A = this chain, B = another copy of it.
């Protein structure tokens, strides 16, 4: 057993850390200003393009993608880099072309796409020329139960016809988003996990209707393309737009989730680390009743508990990544569920406490904390609520 990173990971970690501190964090107020200047747009702002150019020049590009079209890093190697992007979830992931949902979509296209699909969609995504969305969640059902999906994908001759209603299609409000990967049922009569398929739908296809943006707490996440509700009203696409095989949708969704969990969890840990750093700075410089916050028992306790939890959870995520790399997602199921349950919950509480250290400023946009909190809170629901994973993990543990 060896807890030291390999040399390439160590070097990349330092490089990304420096980049985040030198380029990304200073770009946040620039983004705020650009957002305020064009409050009604859903596109990326100019500062993003500048960051991307700089990152790419440094070779920090598509770090998430294990294949030779990406950086070729294992999950274990990418994990500490993902953590660092969590210091600025608004800007760092896009700077390195490592932002969800494009990452998962690029993985799908890499693994399951035909050469034609890859040429049309994967290449421009890898170049960051376009963006994409993943349309799985539906308003009318508990989407953690894939068997409830209502969207239908019917074969009609050389075409598939898609009808249904999706929401929380992240990024899809943006005109930069050109591709929707849609999950639906091709065969409602098949066995539970063979009913679903995925299909590629250009966002400008007839019958695709972007209904409205959704908000998370009060945030519309406009700079990331927001979260869309979308109606598919007998949308027709050529049969070759099917991704993978009919009935393979559930398995592909599961495959997509594994690395996504590592990314989400590591980013969340990075977010918490930034919050703790902000808390420490605040605590050193603010006093109540004549005593610096840094000398107050409850503040010390919170910071100590945060440190303990972050260290333990980081190791758990790294081990999960290592298991995925060495024995595969299926063998790492317990750990993949574990990090999905434990990390967002812990990060939410850390953020809640750091907000409390900041007082009212922590609730406002003067600090990144409230928006961070909204993001961590949403993670407890995304990809299925904690409770579904707890029940599933508990059931497995209780089996003889």
Binding site for B on A (CB under 8 A): 1-6, 9, 76, 137, 139, 142-145, 148, 167-168, 214-220, 276, 280, 283-284, 286-289, 294, 296-305, 307-309, 311-313, 315-316, 318-319, 322-323, 326, 334-335, 337-338, 341-342, 352, 355-356, 359-366, 370-371, 373-374, 377-378, 380-382, 385-395, 397-398, 400
Interface centre among A76, A335, A380, A394 (most CB of B within 10 A): A394
* Nearest chain B CB to A36 CB, angstrom units: 11
Contact among B2, B283, B363, B378 for A216, CB-based, below 8 A: B363
29 interchain pairs, CB-CB under 8 A:
A1-B4, A137-B360, A168-B360, A215-B363, A215-B370, A216-B364, A217-B219, A217-B363, A217-B373, A218-B218, A218-B371, A298-B298, A298-B391, A300-B393, A301-B387, A304-B341, A304-B390, A304-B393, A307-B393, A308-B342, A309-B342, A311-B316, A312-B342, A355-B381, A356-B380, A356-B386, A360-B378, A363-B377, A363-B381
Pairwise interchain contact A304-B364, C-beta atoms closer than 8 A: no
Contact among B218, B302, B386, B392 for A220, CB-based, below 8 A: B218
Contact among B371, B381, B397 for A360, CB-based, below 8 A: B381
When A144-B288, A218-B370, A356-B386 are in contact, do A301 and B394 touch as well, CB less than 8 Å?
A: yes
When A380-B356, A381-B359, A394-B303 are in contact, do A387 and B298 touch as well, CB less than 8 Å?
A: yes
Please indicate the chain B residues that have their CB under 8 angstroms from the CB of A9 in the complex.
Answer: 1
Interface centre among A139, A220, A385 (most CB of B within 10 A): A385
Report the separation of the CA atoms of residues A296 and B298 in the bound assembly, to the nearest whole angstrom. Answer: 9
Pairwise interchain contact B377-A308, C-beta atoms closer than 8 A: no
Task: Determine chain A's interface SS by DSSP, over half rule.
Answer: helix
Pairwise interchain contact B284-A397, C-beta atoms closer than 8 A: no
Closest 10 CB pairs of A and B: A297-B297, A218-B218, A300-B394, A304-B394, A315-B315, A218-B219, A304-B393, A217-B217, A142-B288, A312-B312
User: What 12 new A-B contacts, CB under 8 Å, besides A4-B326, A216-B364, A308-B338?
Assistant: A1-B2, A137-B360, A142-B287, A167-B360, A214-B365, A283-B398, A298-B298, A299-B394, A300-B390, A300-B393, A312-B316, A355-B377
When A216-B363, A289-B145, A315-B315 are in contact, do A300 and B398 touch as well, CB less than 8 Å?
A: yes
- Closest B residue to A359 by beta carbon equals B381
- Closest B residue to A221 by beta carbon equals B218
Report the separation of the CA atoms of residues A373 and B348 in the bound assembly, to the nearest whole angstrom. Answer: 14
Report the separation of the CA atoms of residues A395 and B297 in the bound assembly, to the nearest whole angstrom. Answer: 9
* Nearest chain B CB to A64 CB, angstrom units: 18
Pairwise interchain contact B363-A378, C-beta atoms closer than 8 A: yes
Report the separation of the CA atoms of residues A28 and B342 in the bound assembly, to the nearest whole angstrom. Answer: 35
* Nearest chain B CB to A318 CB, angstrom units: 6
* Nearest chain B CB to A204 CB, angstrom units: 26
Contact among B335, B388, B395 for A311, CB-based, below 8 A: B335
When A297-B298, A364-B215 are in contact, do A385 and B359 touch as well, CB less than 8 Å?
A: yes
Please indicate the chain B residues that have their CB under 8 angstroms from the CB of A318 in the complex.
Answer: 1, 3
* Nearest chain B CB to A317 CB, angstrom units: 9
Pairwise interchain contact B276-A397, C-beta atoms closer than 8 A: yes
- Closest B residue to A288 by beta carbon equals B142
Pairwise interchain contact A397-B307, C-beta atoms closer than 8 A: yes
Report the separation of the CA atoms of residues A167 and B318 in the bound assembly, to the nearest whole angstrom. Answer: 43
* Nearest chain B CB to A253 CB, angstrom units: 16
Report the separation of the CA atoms of residues A73 and B216 in the bound assembly, to the nearest whole angstrom. Answer: 40
Please indicate the chain B residues that have their CB under 8 angstroms from the CB of A322 in the complex.
Answer: 1-3
Report the separation of the CA atoms of residues A217 and B221 in the bound assembly, to the nearest whole angstrom. Answer: 12
* Nearest chain B CB to A372 CB, angstrom units: 11
When A145-B289, A312-B316, A381-B356 are in contact, do A1 and B300 touch as well, CB less than 8 Å?
A: no
